[in-house]
Amino acid sequence: MRYITIALAKGRLAMKTMELLEMVGISCDEIKDKSSRKLIFVNEELKLKFFLAKASDVPTYVEYGAADIGFVGKDTILEEGRKMYEVLDLGLGKCRMCVAGPESARKLLQHGELIRVATKFPNIAKDYFYNKKHQTVEIIKLNGSIELAPIVGLSEVIVDIVETGSTLKENGLVILEDICNISARMVVNEVSMKMEHERISKIIKDLQKHLNTNNK
């Protein structure tokens, strides 16, 4: 039996995903050791390999088949636009992708003015403004602390993730428009889905069953 390789997005989501996998009998104690610098973890009994990668790289590993399965946020899936199957919504890490800014920017959005949009998600922002709203905007790519942009005058609005809303609130910003809901998803390489159909389908079914019973 060959190994099935699972890529997890590093950080909070990885640990939550591992907890969920444990509930369906898929465990890997080594991965929980935060002091370890190991990159690959193995469950010999189930013939599974796990690795942690930067979230934005998970879809790349899965598309190329270096990982058969990936667990990653919908934000990253949309932004990266890789070819793979999205098979399950884990309901973890729920948040929203929004257009936000100062209240005063609302009218700029309504009048379709040429505004600057700062974001860590340029593809999501482009798709939203160009394809859905048909509004021409200038997209400015940032790598973090996006809320700073409208405060210091880099942009009029931002496209960013809102979870509790406290970052916006504490910085005098508000949600101006909703783009989509975000949560962690299970993704599968297209070839692996055929070659390892039985084993991968079982993981999907077990997770689905667990999620259904717990969401009732």
Cα 91 to chain center, whole Å?
11
Taking the complex as a whole, the smallest distance from the CB of residue 182 to ligand PRP amounts, in Å, to 11
Residues in contact with ligand PRP, shown as a per-residue x/- string from 167 to 196 under the rule CB under 6 A: x-----------------------------
Q: Which position among 48, 160, 173, 192 is part of the footprint of ligand PRP (CB under 6 A)? A: 160
Q: Is 146 in the site for ligand PRP (CB under 6 A)?
A: yes
Please provide residue 11's backbone torsions phi and psi, each rounded to the nearest 5 degrees.
105, -160
Region binding ligand PRP by CB under 6 A among candidate stretches 66-74, 109-117, 129-137, 139-147: 139-147
* 112 Cβ neighbours under 8 A, 6+ residues apart: 133, 134, 135
Taking the complex as a whole, the smallest distance from the CB of residue 208 to ligand PRP amounts, in Å, to 28
Nearest CB to ligand PRP, comparing residues 145 and 201: 145
Contacts 24+ apart (CB under 8 A), 50-55: 50/5, 50/6, 50/7, 50/8, 51/5, 51/6, 51/7, 51/8, 52/7, 52/8, 52/9, 52/10, 52/14, 53/7, 53/8, 53/9, 53/10, 54/9, 54/10, 55/9, 55/10, 55/11, 55/13
Taking the complex as a whole, the smallest distance from the CB of residue 171 to ligand PRP amounts, in Å, to 9
Q: Is 163 in the site for ligand PRP (CB under 6 A)?
A: yes
Region binding ligand PRP by CB under 6 A among candidate stretches 38-46, 57-65, 80-88, 145-153: 145-153
Q: Is 166 in the site for ligand PRP (CB under 6 A)?
A: yes
Q: Is 164 in the site for ligand PRP (CB under 6 A)?
A: yes
Q: Is 203 in the site for ligand PRP (CB under 6 A)?
A: no
* 3 Cβ neighbours under 8 A, 6+ residues apart: 42, 47, 48, 49
Q: Is 213 in the site for ligand PRP (CB under 6 A)?
A: no
In the complex, the residues that contact ligand PRP under the rule CB under 6 A are: 144-147, 160-167
